[in-house]
Structure 1
Amino acid sequence: MTGSILVADDETSIRESLTIVLEDEGYNCTAVENGEEAIQVIDQNSFDIIVSDLKMPKRDGLGVLEYALQHSSDTLTIIITAHATIETAISALRKGAADYILKPLDFDEVLIRIENLLEHKKVAQENKYLREKIDQEYNFNHIIGESDAMKKVYKMVERVSSANSNVLVTGKSGTGKELVARAIHSNSDRSNKPFLAINCGAIPEDLVESELFGHTKGAFTGATTDKDGVFVAAHGGTVFLDEIAEIPLNLQVNLLRVLQEREVKPVGSNKTINFDTRIISATNQDLEAEVEKGNFRDDLYYRLNVVELSLPPLQQRRDDIPLLAHHFLKKYNKELKRNLKGISSEAMSAMMAYQWKGQVRELENVIERSVLLSDSDYLQLQDLPSAIRDASGSEEFNMDSESLDQAVRVFEKHHIKSMLKRTEGNKSEAARLLGIDPSTLYRKMERLGLSD
């Protein structure tokens, strides 16, 4: 094992013996004989674990513990005591000790305790890193988009994050429904609890009930152990049910009962388990139409759809294409170890004109592919798939400004002109093709200096 350990004990035989045992196991050890010396080396070094005697001259083990908690919060402290009273142990643990060991020391036991604490610390650090990474990636401030349509999404995410109401996220495949669900969780009071996502359309029908509600050992062939379903496993946090329309009709009544009662009965069990979990579901289908067809229960639909958050397709937020493209360029420069400096105006023009049926996911895939294959300092038109190149049309335009805001204005102006040209000046039809209201089109034309 590896790790740095501080041993503080005024008994020479214990201090030296413990140091030898730990160093034989591969630990890097520092040994001191009183609490004041312990504090001095804590100021000068970083330790994974402190093993400190409770009774020492100058400053006792609890004093060392309190100092370590204030000045080296990532360090875990084990208290050694010859006073075998439960009060002593409880006092040390209440003050923040990670563990305590009674004298006389069993060195094998000490090694096991230290190994367990280091493993616990490693897992805790990994979880902290993952939470910080998820918070950074899924905080709604980091969702890419400055269009009016996305500003409405941000406002709705911010509003619903503070509540516990069920949310139904709707939108075409590739619009980022899970990203928004994670943003809601990340900005809620549940952010330090689990977020579990389950794709209802990817689970075999005979296993859906087990995945959602859990099962007991022996409940069916292959059930070799008890297993919690997602609602219980995410207790205190959030469950994201993607493709909720794919839930089999015969299980929808069970799901409705679970959502109403906030308790589940695992497959093969007669006992119910309570849970406190927020439910966010998503679909790319028209659930109201599915209700009309008899494919989805209306009572379940209304239970899930307390708040609906509809994500706009990329056609309705074309202003965001340059922002998204540059974001993905930066991302895949890093992941693929490339160093493209930007995107040519011809390539961006083609991407602005293209109808992104695969939404943001398709745009990201195109940028990843193009970054990988490009031989230029800038992503060029020829780096894009032929379908996108063909969408650029014959009209060319130049953009000299490196400002992203200016780039957006140029592309937006160019695209509106293209739509007006296609509709022979019919602004209502152009607005429909652009996916915006006619009044919004008039405001944009005025802002961009486009005359009638």
Structure 2
Amino acid sequence: MVLRKASILVIDDDADILTALRLLLKPLVKEVVTDKNPNNINSLLTKTAFDIVILDMNFNGLVNTGNEGIFWLNKIKSLNTETSVILMTAYADIDLAIRGLKEGASDFLVKPWKNEKFIETINTVLGKKRTKSGKIKHLNANSTRIIGESDVMIDVFVKIKKVAPTEANVLVLGENGTGKDLIARALHDNSNRKNQPFVKVDVGALTASLFESELFGYKKGAFTDAREDRKGLFEAADTGTLFLDEIGNINLNQQAKLLTVLQNRQVTPLGSNTPIPIDIRLICATNFDPKTLSDEKKFRKDLVYRINTVDIVVPPLRERDTDITKLTKHFISVYAEKYNKNSFSLDTGFISKLKQHSFPGNVRELQYILERAVIMTDGDVLKADDLVFSSIESSSTKSHIGNSSHNLNELEKNAILTVLEKNKGNISKSAKELGITRAALYRRIEKYEL
């Protein structure tokens, strides 16, 4: 559908926003209706078949503060599943908006918006450019492709796509080897700063004496070996993105110094009294769990709030069972080319053995295992015997054979059965309780022949 033939309903309790959107949309669309009261949604949708409902996520606590948007989204979808919903939210509600996408929203916009972006989003939804499943098969991070089509990775891709164009600070959480650095790079490469510097710093590896000089820079003579002026990494990232990896490993004194810089948006090099303004997009990463970051004896809460406008949790490989085959083929192709070998075919036992491994080292471990297999194999077919796990890796391997307590598929199947029985087969309620989409639940029901 084209924009000029569209009927749009806007629901927001802010009269100024309703006026602004009415003025913006009226010359462009067939019909635009605005209303301050979400309780009128039922009657409005009964009278008119709107193509799009633009819905605010907060209505002064009429339903459940912070969740009003989800409530009314579900209400709209129950009235007409074909009505597209675009959510409007503030930075603080982005996680809630991501949940809204899982619940069936077509897109969301962050306030304040740019008119061009607003119209572009509406056109995208009307043109059905978003696939029905909402799936993104991969995401580019510079020259590297983040591979994944499992539900948990699709959620990550959607979040990156939404957060990247904003200026929100992002905290990337995940175990070692999950690819947090690739997520950071993808955020930069899909941002408005993509043509500016991307500076990565492993702050956890900086000693106390190097922390300030490396990050903030120094003037000649500031200390014994300071033979010339040197810019710090904050300055090097100016107008671009600064990625602070292993942020959870810095001590409280370093955290205080970092917080001061982030609050003031300026750095003062060692040996100088003149502050230098900085313009950066900040991305941080850590393998610490959120509980550790909330312990003020280890990490300042005010710094957590400063760096964590939005968090992205990168799932471990053991939760990405459906991605293992795709990742395996990718890495084998890479290493076959690197070591001048012919292309390989994979025996079914090869993949089966990989899927029985718990991968405590995640994607990085998979990568090293496959590199070793490609190097040591003489034939053109990779078999289960070609997979050799080190003693460290093998100690973490969980057999899926004859031990149902460790069988993740069996655990997932039983969990789905339990929830379906509890909700008397209601797919919508069951999907919501399981934290997945209806489509994802249907795929699992088909997979397990439930």
Please give the alpha-carbon distance, in whole angstroms, between the structure 1 residues aligned to 2:217 and 2:209.
Answer: 13
C-alpha contact (below 8 Å) 1:427/1:438 kept by paired residues: no
C-alpha contact (below 8 Å) 1:420/1:430 kept by paired residues: no
Matched, 1:263 2:262: no
> What is the one-letter code of the residue matched to 2:227?
T
Corresponding position of 1:70: none
1:201-232: CA deviation from partner (whole Å, max 9, x where unpaired): 11222101111111111211222221111111
Matched, 1:191 2:194: yes
Please give the alpha-carbon distance, in whole angstroms, between the structure 1 residues aligned to 2:206 and 2:244.
Answer: 12
Q: Identify unmatched segments of 5+ residues in structure 1.
A: 1-135, 396-414
Please give the alpha-carbon distance, in whole angstroms, between the structure 1 residues aligned to 2:153 and 2:412.
Answer: 29
> What is the one-letter code of the residue matched to 1:199?
D
1:155-178: CA deviation from partner (whole Å, max 9, x where unpaired): 111111111111101011111111
Please report how far the alpha carbon of residue 234 of structure 1 lies from its aligned counterpart in structure 2 after TM superposition. Answer: 1.1
Matched, 1:235 2:234: no
Q: Describe the SS at the equivalent of 1:169.
A: strand
Matched, 1:156 2:164: no
1:370 to 367, 370, 373: 373
C-alpha contact (below 8 Å) 2:198/2:242 kept by paired residues: yes
Counting only pairs closer than 5 Å after superposition, residues 30-429 of structure 1 correspond to structure 2 as 138-139=141-142, 142-386=145-389, 419=408, 426-427=414-415
Please give the alpha-carbon distance, in whole angstroms, between the structure 1 residues aligned to 2:217 and 2:406.
Answer: 56
C-alpha contact (below 8 Å) 1:138/1:186 kept by paired residues: yes
* TM-score between both structures, scaled by the size of structure 2: 0.59
C-alpha contact (below 8 Å) 1:326/1:342 kept by paired residues: no
C-alpha contact (below 8 Å) 1:244/1:281 kept by paired residues: yes
> What is the one-letter code of the residue matched to 1:362?
E
Please give the alpha-carbon distance, in whole angstroms, between the structure 1 residues aligned to 2:418 and 2:368.
Answer: 28
C-alpha contact (below 8 Å) 2:148/2:323 kept by paired residues: yes
> What is the one-letter code of the residue matched to 2:446?
R
1:56-90: CA deviation from partner (whole Å, max 9, x where unpaired): xxxxxxxxxxxxxxxxxxxxxxxxxxxxxxxxxxx
> Measured at CA, do residues 438 and 304 of structure 1 come closer, stay the same or move farther in structure 2, by a change above 3 Å?
closer
Please report how far the alpha carbon of residue 343 of structure 1 lies from its aligned counterpart in structure 2 after TM superposition. Answer: 2.1
> Measured at CA, do residues 339 and 416 of structure 1 come closer, stay the same or move farther in structure 2, by a change above 3 Å?
farther
> Measured at CA, do residues 165 and 175 of structure 1 come closer, stay the same or move farther in structure 2, by a change above 3 Å?
same
Q: Describe the SS at the equivalent of 1:168.
A: strand
C-alpha contact (below 8 Å) 1:196/1:240 kept by paired residues: yes
Equivalent residues, number = 292
Counting only pairs closer than 5 Å after superposition, residues 4-43 of structure 1 correspond to structure 2 as none
Please give the alpha-carbon distance, in whole angstroms, between the structure 1 residues aligned to 2:413 and 2:168.
Answer: 45
Q: Identify unmatched segments of 5+ residues in structure 2.
A: 1-138, 420-432
Corresponding position of 1:443: 442
C-alpha contact (below 8 Å) 1:140/1:154 kept by paired residues: no
1:330-357: CA deviation from partner (whole Å, max 9, x where unpaired): 1111112222322211010011111011
Please report how far the alpha carbon of residue 318 of structure 1 lies from its aligned counterpart in structure 2 after TM superposition. Answer: 1.0
C-alpha contact (below 8 Å) 1:201/1:247 kept by paired residues: yes
1:1-50: CA deviation from partner (whole Å, max 9, x where unpaired): xxxxxxxxxxxxxxxxxxxxxxxxxxxxxxxxxxxxxxxxxxxxxxxxxx
> Measured at CA, do residues 190 and 318 of structure 1 come closer, stay the same or move farther in structure 2, by a change above 3 Å?
same
Please give the alpha-carbon distance, in whole angstroms, between the structure 2 residues aligned to 1:299 and 1:438.
Answer: 30
> Measured at CA, do residues 308 and 349 of structure 1 come closer, stay the same or move farther in structure 2, by a change above 3 Å?
same
Q: Describe the SS at the equivalent of 2:147.
A: coil
Please give the alpha-carbon distance, in whole angstroms, between the structure 2 residues aligned to 1:416 and 1:142.
Answer: 35
Please report how far the alpha carbon of residue 443 of structure 1 lies from its aligned counterpart in structure 2 after TM superposition. Answer: 3.4
Q: Describe the SS at the equivalent of 2:303.
A: helix
Please report how far the alpha carbon of residue 446 of structure 1 lies from its aligned counterpart in structure 2 after TM superposition. Answer: 2.5
Please report how far the alpha carbon of residue 261 of structure 1 lies from its aligned counterpart in structure 2 after TM superposition. Answer: 1.3
C-alpha contact (below 8 Å) 1:350/1:388 kept by paired residues: no
What percentage of aligned pairs have identical amino acids? 40
Please report how far the alpha carbon of residue 416 of structure 1 lies from its aligned counterpart in structure 2 after TM superposition. Answer: 12
C-alpha contact (below 8 Å) 1:287/1:301 kept by paired residues: no
Please give the alpha-carbon distance, in whole angstroms, between the structure 2 residues aligned to 1:318 and 1:254.
Answer: 42
Please give the alpha-carbon distance, in whole angstroms, between the structure 2 residues aligned to 1:420 and 1:251.
Answer: 44
Please give the alpha-carbon distance, in whole angstroms, between the structure 1 residues aligned to 2:164 and 2:412.
Answer: 45
Q: Describe the SS at the equivalent of 2:171.
A: strand
The structure carrying a bigger helix percent of its residues is 1
* TM-score between both structures, scaled by the size of structure 1: 0.59
Please report how far the alpha carbon of residue 373 of structure 1 lies from its aligned counterpart in structure 2 after TM superposition. Answer: 0.8
Please give the alpha-carbon distance, in whole angstroms, between the structure 1 residues aligned to 2:401 and 2:238.
Answer: 57
Please report how far the alpha carbon of residue 279 of structure 1 lies from its aligned counterpart in structure 2 after TM superposition. Answer: 0.6
Please give the alpha-carbon distance, in whole angstroms, between the structure 2 residues aligned to 1:360 and 1:244.
Answer: 21
1:232-265: CA deviation from partner (whole Å, max 9, x where unpaired): 1111110100000112211212211111111000
Larger radius of gyration: 1
1:392-424: CA deviation from partner (whole Å, max 9, x where unpaired): 6669xxxxxxxxxxxxxxxxxxx9995466x69
Please give the alpha-carbon distance, in whole angstroms, between the structure 2 residues aligned to 1:311 and 1:210.
Answer: 31
